[in-house]
Amino acid sequence: MSRIGKKPIPLPEGVRVEIEGRRVRTTGPKGTLSLELRPEVSAELENGALVVRRLQETRQARALHGLFRQLLANMVTGVSRGFTRVLEIVGVGYRAELRGQALHLSLGYSHPVVYQLPQGVQASVDRQVVITLESADKQLLGQTAAEIRRLRPPEPYKGKGIRYKDEAVRRKAGKAAVGGGS
């Protein structure tokens, strides 16, 4: 049996879970999320916890058991505490500014880059070089952070670009000076 899949998901204070057929909806202080379960797995409420069970013993069902348990656990965490991703901008003249739901980025191109934040993701900019993204949906948050990073990924020579806060950029040595010729 899946070690992850068999663990029950405890429901924190203020989180409600509704199960309607194969649709699971979680509601909490940070918002509402829903997920459609595959036919190989089912979810039930037992003793104040959410339990995921597989309905078949196929290889596919065993794989989906742990996956859907973790997706549901992420939903419960998201609606109760939320998720955060921090991006750092490194480079002379590189900066970010938040105007409404749009990030205006100056990334060394000849034009400013405007990134429209998706519904459900909030951002804040600190010192013009630190972008903090918050959301209840972990998948949407990760996708948004990856799209912003893709606008100017960190380059290996000077390290300039947008990187995750905990990301280590492997640096390369530049061209070596050519020795004296004839």
| For residues 150-170, average pLDDT | 92
Q: Is the pLDDT of residue 140 over 60?
A: yes
Q: Predicted confidence band at 144 (pLDDT cuts at 50, 70, 90)? A: very high
Flag whether pLDDT at 82 surpasses 70. Answer: yes
Per-residue confidence (pLDDT) for residue 181, from 0 to 100: 57
Q: How confident is the model at residue 174 (pLDDT cuts 50, 70, 90)?
A: confident
Residue 39: pLDDT over 60? yes
What number is the average pLDDT over the span 82-100?
95
Amino acid 52: pLDDT: 94
What does the alpha-carbon distance between residue 156 and residue 173 come to, in Å, rounded to a whole number? Answer: 9
The arithmetic mean of pLDDT across residues 48-77, rounded, is 93
Whether the pLDDT of residue 101 is over 60: the answer is yes
> What's the pLDDT at 135?
96
Q: For 8-12, 44-48, 89-93, 173-177, which range has the lowest pLDDT when averaged over its residues?
A: 173-177
Give the long-range contacts of residues 144-152, CB within 8 A, separation 24 or more. Answer: 144/85, 144/117, 144/118, 145/85, 145/87, 147/115, 148/87, 148/103, 148/105, 148/115, 149/87, 151/105, 151/107, 151/113, 151/115, 152/91, 152/94, 152/105, 152/107, 152/108
